[in-house]
Amino acid sequence: MEDLSLYYTLLRDPARRKIIEILGNQEKIGFKELKEILGLGVGTVYYHLDMLSDFIQQDKQRKYRLNDRGRMLYKVLKEGNVPPTLEISEAFSHRLGKWLFLSPVFAKTVRPLRFLPVAAAILLIGAFGAAYAKLDSALFFYFPYSAYNPTTIIALFLFNWIGLFLFAEFFIYLLYRRVGNDLQLFTCLGIAAFPVAVFPYAYLSVSDVISQYILFTLQIWSLLLTSAAFCFGKGIRLDKAIVISLTAMYLNIALLFMLGRFT
């Protein structure tokens, strides 16, 4: 029999347990009906289905059903072999990872209009901070002693993140054929910009050497948050989302080399 630790990891999330229970009881179900039962957003449902992709399949009518491994997973859940602790608590590492990726925050963007002002505020804080500190922004990077006027610096910061949104829309469709849920993705990306948005204020408060270490730390965190934004905004698995985030960063670096910003 397969290692039950894999099952425990998947079943730790109540939404995934619910999906397995639904498919185990009803045998098959359409996406729209499943979404209504779960009461979750499109991207979030896709994310959980993607996480369970080794255990479910779609028939010719594109309805979801359990495969052989999925039925084994349902049996584990039904027989009560899942430790009760998964119902009431989580490992420290899981809780830490959840907050590192701001999963509780992103999960609430299922109603993006409620969080869109927060995302817009973060982007504006970053844009005005860059202008005040006279930093040229290039998505995850900053360059001091900008020759641009403040209006141009503000526009450049906003353009970078809008460009990332458009890149993600195109690239995720190209690879995974995921469409829609655009507003939630944009909202999530605005939240993901938070670490780099606060950097200009740290830059003004510390020495150049220390600011480089701070920027490096915030770049990594922002990259992780960007991956989480792709997960919740487009419903793709984290491993796939990280690939897209890294691709965006590598393209960012390549473009900066071409422009002669790195010497």
130 and 196 assigned to the same domain: yes
- In the listed set 89, 110, 134, which residue is the last one of a domain according to the structure? 89
Tell me the average pLDDT across 174-200.
Answer: 92
- pLDDT on residue 9: 61
232 and 129 in one domain? yes
**240 vs 220: CA distance, rounded Å:** 17
What is the SS3 assignment for 54? coil
Closest alpha carbon to 66 in 58, 164, 113, 117 = 58
Kindly indicate the confidence band of residue 106, based on its pLDDT and cuts at 50, 70 and 90. confident
- Please report, for the domain that includes residue 58, its CATH number: 1.10.10.10
- Is 44 part of a structural domain of the chain? yes
Summarised one tens digit per residue, pLDDT across range 52-82 is 888 888 888 888 999 888 888 788 777 765 5
pLDDT over threshold 90, residue 251: yes
Instruction: Check residue 42 and give its pLDDT.
Output: 77
Q: What are the two backbone dihedrals, phi and then psi, of residue 234, each rounded to the nearest 5 degrees?
A: -125, 0
Number of domains composing the chain: 2
Q: What is the pLDDT of residue 240?
A: 86
- Give this prediction's pTM: 0.75
Q: What is the mean pLDDT of residues 196-214?
A: 94
Domain assignment present for 263 = no
- The stretches of 134-207 forming alpha helices (DSSP H) are 150-176, 182-192, 194-203
Percentage of the chain lying above the pLDDT 90 cut? 45
Mean pLDDT over the full length of the chain? 85
Q: What angle do CA 171, 221, 13 make, to 5 degrees?
A: 75
Tell me which residue of 89, 6, 110 sits closest to 52, measured CA to CA: 6
157 and 39, same structural domain?
no
